Amino acid sequence: MLQSSKIFVPTYQRAYSWDTEKNPQKTPRQVNVFLSDLEDYIKSSTNSPYYFGHFLFEKKPDNRFGVIDGQQRLTTIVIFLSALFKRLESIRTLTEKEEEIFEDIIKRKGTYRFETVYYDDQLFKDYAINQTKKDHNGLDTESAKRIVRAFDYFSVQFSKKQEKELLKLLNAVQSATCTTHPVENESEAIQMFIFQNNRGKKPSNLEIIKAQFMFNVHLYGGEEKGTLIEEIKNRFEKIYKSISSIEYKIDEDDVLLYTQRVFFNSLWESNAIEKINSELTKESRISFIKNFTQSLATSFEHLTSFFGKDEKNNIEIHSLITLGGFTLAVPFIIKAYSFGLPVSEICKLCSALESLVLRHRLIGTRAEITTRINEIYQKFRATNSEITPIINHINWIKSVPSENWWWSYWNNTALENSLQGGLNHTIAKFLLWKYENYLESNGKSGYSVSRYDKIENPELEHVAPQTENPETGYDNYDEEFRNQYIDCLGNYLLLSKSHNCSVGNKPFADKRNSYNHSEQQREIQKMTLETPIWTKELIRQRKEKIVKFIIENV
């Protein structure tokens, strides 16, 4: 097929998603496994050819084949071979037979045998095929970065191999087998995709929904079928490009769920597949497909701005994203973007939602919060897009008296109680980052808040170490000190990883001397100016100060 035709990835398919694990101590990723499987094969004594699996294609009239299933493997095969030929050429001139293989599988003059999605294709050709691009600049999508990482990985691995092993790998790929099924009817291709992926393989919910939408349009689209299919393809082209920009920050199936909650205007929406399948049984299915696909594309478009330029330019958005765990917040945010609210208003909304999310995570109550905010969410509409009622409602939840038990799970009393013992380290680091900004800005005007990612590999330091140090400088490690003072906010300090490693389990005097890089470090220096010993009383004082800040600002 490669020799006599052209294979391409349709624009409505996802971009390259196989990744490479840089740290070999971690679980191997797909690209690593691809190579290790081939290496194991050439070391084995088997005479049977290597099997690459099954590929599903949609055949076009001009002898072009759109890959419907198997594009990740196919993309990796092409990258693998291109890197292998590059290494062979560095050893010696390619033989006539090897040049024929290259021209048949990769490129003959100006004809490329395989093309990926259009927005990554030029990078794919420049970096992985022609090697005219040598740097890593201008990689706009995660899929482009994966292409580069895969080619670099193969190049590094091949640089360690001699000609004999390279030729064995080339022969294994060249003589490998696979099964293919080209179909000329797009409806049949989509139906086969659904059939195949419902039997063992697990695509994302978004992939399943896309296939079901296109299949239903083929069945029920009538005279509009061609136009509707083109519209869905165009929408998903934009969706997948958005995914390539933000997938490292949010999961595509979560965006599908958030879109469902926006579309049906309820935070209680949960099972996207079940809900959408139900809608596809109705007479209004075609109208639903059009409207939901548009809503889905809009959600991804807005979240691309939210996680992209708006996060870079607005500390409130950066702060909420840094906190994470914002399932409750994102549907509000998608609505706010959809209603055309200015970023300044979205920032105010983010700050209010962050406060509620943070309290919910800190307090850890089993009380269900969705019911408490679903009504105000449902009232947040294009015709009523003021965020003031939402902010007022959240502030009321935070201040409601404890006597009103059904609402009071997230009030200041509950928050203060949650801060008395040890905290989840991720949450503690987040709170200390906020506290650091508070200390830095205290009494200053025109102050620019520091971003969390400005800290290099932030870690949580225990000022009094968890393991008792026989040196002087810490309070007596009695039962009270171990149980109540070691793991608490007053004894936590935010440090970079390198700083944390350097102080370790050292005496307090040594640690104290290194505490001069941030306001909270200098705060500890000031607290121990007269008596350089880190005591229970000092830990208690510092904890009270941090708790007071959190109560007033969260």
For residue 448, the model assigns a pLDDT of 66
Q: Which helix (H) or strand (E) holds 98?
A: helix 96-105
Based on the domain organization, do 117 and 133 belong to the same domain?
Answer: yes
Q: Please classify residue 254 by burial: count the beta carbons closer than 10 Å to its beta carbon, then call 0-12 exposed, 13-18 middle and 19+ buried.
A: middle
Residues 311 and 386 in one domain: yes
Residue 106's alpha-carbon distances to 60, 79, 153, 346, 432, in angstroms, are 20, 9, 19, 48, 53
Question: Is 418 inside any structural domain?
Answer: no
Q: What angle do CA 299, 305, 308 make, to 5 degrees?
A: 130
Q: Are residues 170 and 194 in the same domain?
A: no
Q: Given this model, what pLDDT does residue 201 score?
A: 44
> Within a domain: residue 420?
no
| Residue at a domain's end among 183, 205, 225 | 183
Q: Is residue 197 part of a domain?
A: yes
Residue 382 falls within a domain, yes or no? yes
Cα gap 370→329, rounded to integer Å: 11
Q: Given 388, 413, 438, which residue is the final one in a domain?
A: 413
- Please say if the pLDDT value at position 242 is more than 50: yes
Q: Are residues 215 and 246 in the same domain?
A: yes
Of the three residues 183, 215, 243, the one that is the final residue of a domain is: 183
Query: Which pTM does this prediction carry?
Result: 0.81
Domain extent, residue 468, equals 425-553
> Residues 242-261: what's their mean pLDDT?
90
Interstrand relation of 6-8 and 64-69 (parallel, antiparallel or unpaired): parallel
What's the token pair of residue 344?
A: 């300044």
| Helix residue ranges, H only, 221-284 | 225-246, 252-263, 272-279
Q: Judge whether residue 523 has pLDDT over 60.
A: yes
pLDDT at position 195 over 80? no
Instruction: Tell whether 273 and 171 lie within a shared domain.
Output: no
pLDDT band at 24 (very low <50, low <70, confident <90, very high): low
Residues 402 and 284 in one domain: yes
Indicate whether 113 and 169 sit together in one domain.
yes
**Contact criterion met (CB below 8 Å) for 146 and 21:** no
- Whether residue 419 lies inside any domain: the answer is no
Residue 441 lies in a domain: yes
Is the same domain home to 408 and 432?
no
Closest CA to 101 of 113, 115, 116: 113
Same domain membership, residue 44 and residue 24: yes
Count up the domains in the chain and report the number. Answer: 3
The answer to the question of residue 358 being in a domain is yes
Looking at this protein, which amino acid is placed at residue 231? E
Report yes or no on 210 lying in a domain: yes
Cβ-based neighbour number of residue 507 at 10 Å = 17
- pLDDT mean over 57-61: 87
Q: Are residues 222 and 296 in the same domain?
A: yes
Residues 79 and 216 in one domain: no
Tokens matching residue 187: 């409806």
Average pLDDT, integer, range 119-128? 94
One domain for residues 210 and 172: no
Q: Which residues of 290-322 are buried (b: 16+ CB within 10 A; e: fewer)?
A: bebbebbbbbbbbbbbbbeebbeebbbbbbbbb
